[in-house]
Structure 1
Amino acid sequence: MLTFIIKRVASGISVLVAIACATFLLLYSSGIQAARNILGEYATAEQIAAKQHELGLDRPLIVQLGDWAWQAVSGNLGTSWFTNHSVADTLLTRLPVTLTLVLVAIIGITIFATLIGVAAAVKRGWIDRVVQVGAIIGEAIPSFVLAVILVTIFAIHLGWFPATSNIQPGSVGKEWVLSLFLPAIGLVINGMTGTAQQIRSAVIAEMEKDYVRTLRSRGISEPVVLFKHVLRSAAPAGLTVLSLHFIGMLGGVVIIEQIFALPGMGALALQSTIQGDTPMVMGVVMYTVIIVIIVNLLVDLANGWLNPKVRVS
């Protein structure tokens, strides 16, 4: 298992370094344009040159990359060009909102998709047909469309939840919970049916194997066979789908956060991109990649624990 973990960590670090270098070269390759974005279109050539020198953009690109990498290793991702705030501090105040939203959605998807998927696999009737139709509809309707529908019904017409968030980064409390409820429900509905379909297919495939018939012939009760043996063997397929949903949500949450005015990573990434705040965009990319690598590592470890063949391969 230790060798398995070391290989996964080494692979994740190599991916992080490659993405960091590629993103840096793409964002910092045009120092003139970056300085113009900060000063505005009416800035003179002298002002642009002075701003480039102030930001260190007139140095060779490889030197800039080396300086940034050396600081990034120590946790210093630089300072925002527009707010003069630390990039790392800003991200740490925005990250909890996005992570909480995505984690709540993933937990909801896991619970409901498992229950529905297992029920559809065991009861081959109307539940099975509803899951299959729901999987198609759920994948076809974007999460932001569901968000708009939920806002119209539960916020505007019924008034149960706020239509948009008025919470500040780093705040907690009742308003924080209420502001996250509708966007989380939209993400759960969007990802639940497709995941349930995958779990259903995996459970059906496991239930048709010889070891299940052997367990039943020994008099082991059906719930024990289903939840202790079948569901554990079918879990890797569900975990893979959930990890893909998690990664997809980190990108798709940009629109959700804009609809609900949530002060998360997605809203920050969009705002920084429009402004041309390169250090902030670079920080968002790095944090997102690190989160994705950690999630993939945890899924690999879970799959390795559930299926020892994965560790061998």
Structure 2
Amino acid sequence: MLRLIARRLLVSAVLVLLVSLLTFLLQAAAPGDTARTILGDHYSPEAHRLLAHRLHLDEPVLVQYAHWLGQALRGDLGSSPISGLDVGAEIAGRLPVTLSLIVCTTTVTAVLGVALGVLSAVRGGRIGRAVDLVSLIGYALPGFWLALVLVALLAVAVPVFPATGYVAFADAPAGWARSLVLPVATLALPGIAVFAKQTRDAMLEALSRDFVTTLRANGASRASVVLRHALRNAAIPVVTLVGLTSVGLLSGTVFVEAVFAMPGLGGLAAQATTQHDIPVIQGVVVVFTLVVVAVNLAVDLAYARLNPKVRVP
């Protein structure tokens, strides 16, 4: 197990390095630069040259990246040339919002989706067809339209939940939960449909195996067969889907944070991209990559727990 973790961490370190380099190169190749954003529409070439020199924008791209990387390896993500704020502090203040959305949405999606999928596989018939219908509807609904409908119904017509904003958990746990209901529901509904269908298919395949017939012939209870044996064998594709969902939510949070006016990393990344704020972009990309690394490592450990053969190098 330790060798598996060490190998994954080594690969992850290389991945973080390559992603940060690629992001820096793409941002440098994009039209415009930070100096033009700061100076505005009307500026003299001399003013642009002086500001670009002060910001080291006139140096080769790889030299700029090496300078940023040296700071990052010391734990310093620099400061924003646009706002002047410390990038690390800005990310630390917004990270709980994005992580709350990702963790809560993944949890709700997995729990409800797996429950519906198991119920559909065990009961079949009308329930199975209902799950298929809900899956199709949930996957087809546009996220923007769904967010607006939820706000209109549950924040305007019946003011149960806030339409915008975010409450920190440390300030008010109940307010934190209420502020996440509508954003999480917007992100979770399509995912629940996918989880339900994936779980049902995996469960049907597991329930058709010979070991299930043997367990039933030996008098094992239905609950034991379904929950302890069939669900465990069907869990690997579901765990894979959990990882893919968590990673996919990194892009989904950009949309949700904009609609519900939540101060998360998605909005910060979008704003920094339009302003060519390279230190902020680099910091957000590194954090997002670390989240992906953590999710993939958790999925690998879950594989090793469910299937010991995965532990073999």
TM range (shorter): over 0.9
* Residue 24 (structure 1) aligned with residue 27 (structure 2): no
- Unmatched segments (≥5 aa) in structure 1: none
Q: Counterpart of 1:58? A: 58
Cα distance 1:143–1:310, how it changes in 2: closer, same or farther (>3 A)? farther
Aligned length: 313
CA distance in structure 2 between the partners assigned to 1:58 and 1:247 by the alignment: 36
Distance 2:169 2:20 in 1: 26
Letter in 1 for 2:132: Q
**Alpha-carbon distance change, 33 to 40 in structure 1, aligned in 2, over 3 angstroms:** same
Is the CA contact (8 Å cut-off) linking 1:96 and 1:170 kept in structure 2? Answer: no
**Pairing of 1:221-260 with structure 2 (within 5 A):** 221-260=221-260
Shift of 1:97: 0.5
How do residues 43-192 of structure 1 correspond to structure 2 at under 5 angstroms? 43-165=43-165, 167=167, 172-192=172-192
Given that 2:34 and 2:275 are in contact with CA atoms closer than 8 Å, whether structure 1 keeps it comes out as no
Whole-angstrom distance in 2 between the partners of 1:32 and 1:275: 9
CA distance in 2, matches of 1:283, 1:40: 24
Report the counterpart of residue 263 of structure 2 in structure 1. 263
2:215: which partner in 1? 215
TM-score, normalised on structure 2?
0.94
Amino acid at match of 2:127: I
Structure 2: runs of 5 or more not aligned: none
Change in CA separation of 1:171 and 1:51 when aligned onto 2, cut-off 3 Å: farther
Partner SS for 1:183: helix
**Structure 1 stretches (4+) deviating beyond 6 angstroms?**
none
Could you tell me how far 1:312 is from its partner in structure 2?
A: 3.2
Q: Report the residue type matching 2:299 in the other structure.
A: V
Map 1:285-296; keep pairs closer than 5 Å.
285-296=285-296
Task: State the SS of the aligned residue for 1:162.
Answer: coil
Q: Which amino acid aligns with 1:232?
A: R
Q: CA deviation at 1:173?
A: 4.7
Contact 2:166 2:180 in 1 (8 A): no
- Distance in 2, Cα, partners of 1:220 & 1:169: 44
Take 2:30 and 2:162, find their aligned partners in 1: how far apart are those partners? 42
2:39 aligned residue:
39
Q: CA deviation at 1:34?
A: 2.4
SS, match of residue 160 in structure 1: coil
Cα distance 1:30–1:255, how it changes in 2: closer, same or farther (>3 A)? closer
Matched, 1:275 2:293: no
Deviation sequence 1:227-264 (CA, Å, 0-9, x none): 11111111111111121111111101111111110111
- Alpha-carbon distance between aligned partners in 2 of 1:213 and 1:64, rounded to the nearest angstrom: 64
> Are 1:25 and 1:61, in contact at CA under 8 Å, matched by a contact in 2?
yes
Indicate the percent of aligned positions where both proteins have the same amino acid: 38
CA contact (8 A) 1:113 1:195 kept: yes
Tell me how far apart the structure 2 counterparts of residues 287 and 275 of structure 1 sit (CA, whole Å): 19
Aligned partners of 2:169 and 2:175 also within 8 Å: no
In 2: Cα distance, 1:32 partner to 1:170 partner: 40
Structure 1 residue 200 and structure 2 residue 200: aligned?
Answer: yes
- Contact 1:116 1:196 (C-alpha < 8 Å) held by counterparts: yes
CA contact (8 A) 2:32 2:276 kept: no
Matches of 2:138 and 2:307 in 1, distance apart?
30
Q: Is the 8 A contact 1:31 1:58 kept in 2?
A: no
Root mean square deviation, CA, Å: 1.9
Q: Is the 8 A contact 1:93 1:170 kept in 2?
A: no
Pick closer, same or farther for the CA change 1:50–1:298 going to 2, 3 Å.
same
Residues in 1 aligned to 2:16 and 2:170: alpha-carbon distance in whole angstroms: 27
Structure 1, 170-179 or 278-287: larger mean CA deviation: 170-179
Deviation, 1:32, is 6.6
Contact 1:117 1:196 in 2 (8 A): yes
**Matched residues in 2 for 1:49 and 1:171: separation?**
46
Confirm or deny: 8 A CA contact 2:97 2:264 kept in the other structure. Answer: yes
Amino acid at match of 1:156: V
